[in-house]
Amino acid sequence: MPKTPNLPAPRIGILAAGTSAQTDTELVSSWAASLASAHTRRNFAMTATRFLEALSVGIRKATVEDVREALARITEGRTDATAQQYVLRAKSLLSYGHKLGYMPFNAGVTIKVKPDQSRAGLAKRIISEVDVKLLIRGARSQRDRVLIETLYAGGLRISELVALTWADVIEREVHGADVLQLSVTGKGGRTRQVLLPGAVSRSLRALRGDCHSREGGNGANDPIFASRTGARLTERAVNYMIKRTAEHAGIEAPVSPHWLRHAHGSHALDRGATLPQVQATLGHANVATTSAYLHARPDTSSGLKLDPAIFR
């Protein structure tokens, strides 16, 4: 019988050449640290932690089946968009670890990402101008009203809104009108400039004046939207306030802060704004993302050209 070749024994416990991480948790920390913004790092690390908890074994020993089962656990009951993000983040983590030699193979490479069906439901998440007005009028405090106005008028993400300080507010004169300009830091740390309408600019100035008189002044680095203690509002607090205000206003749709961003994009296009204008305001990296608002609520369709007599 032919002799079996002597294969070298596998080396156990030797650190990967490309990383000093010795545990899965340390790998997650290294991976998260490579990401651009603090908001992204926080969300990605949270997803990775859930993924590790769902894995029946460590990443180094995980098979494709292990990864698939773990992803099924953490995406159960989630929306298509959220589930897609979880899968993409897990695949990114596994690819990162394999690239640095932390594990011998990438168990996520064959995992398919289901297409995001959220765009199909985008039209359902765009509330009307009437509902936006009801939401603003339903605010229970001056701060809440100005927050909703700024969120909608600026087309802001909730993370961008709560990060705003008074140093981000610039006085401008545009076409003879005194308006405010916001310096907004978005995804990837990219900064964009957003002009607020005159009415919203006046509301924001009044809010600053009210804060100044009540608190004896506010510094440039103080948050625009603060809690009663003066601390920056959390995203969770804003989400709760929006939902509570929507219920108080009698709006049946499950409104969230991001719905106001969708509403801004759709309403602005309906009223004649160009795609590049909306893209720049919302901070979309690709105009194709902005164009989804055109397809979500078209003002024409070939079906409207059919002979109505056929249906009589």
Note if 39 is an active site residue.
no
- C-beta of residue 226 within 8 angstroms of C-beta of residue 233: yes
Q: How far apart are CA 147 and CA 166, in angstroms?
A: 14
Set 68, 187, 208, 244: catalytic member = 187
Note if 267 is an active site residue.
no
Q: How far apart are CA 285 and CA 211, in angstroms?
A: 35
Type of residue numbered 143 = R
Q: How far apart are CA 298 and CA 270, in angstroms?
A: 9
Q: How far apart are CA 269 and CA 192, in angstroms?
A: 19
The count of other CB atoms within 10 Å of the CB of residue 283 is: 21
Measured between its terminal Cα atoms, the distance across the chain in Å is 87
Note if 293 is an active site residue.
yes
Set 89, 98, 261, 264: catalytic member = 261
Set 98, 157, 264, 267: catalytic member = 157
Decide: residue 39, CB within 10 A, 0-12 exposed, 13-18 middle, 19+ buried.
buried
Set 41, 192, 244, 258: catalytic member = 258
Set 39, 89, 267, 284: catalytic member = 284
Note if 114 is an active site residue.
no
Q: Show which residues are catalytic.
A: 157, 187, 258, 261, 284, 293
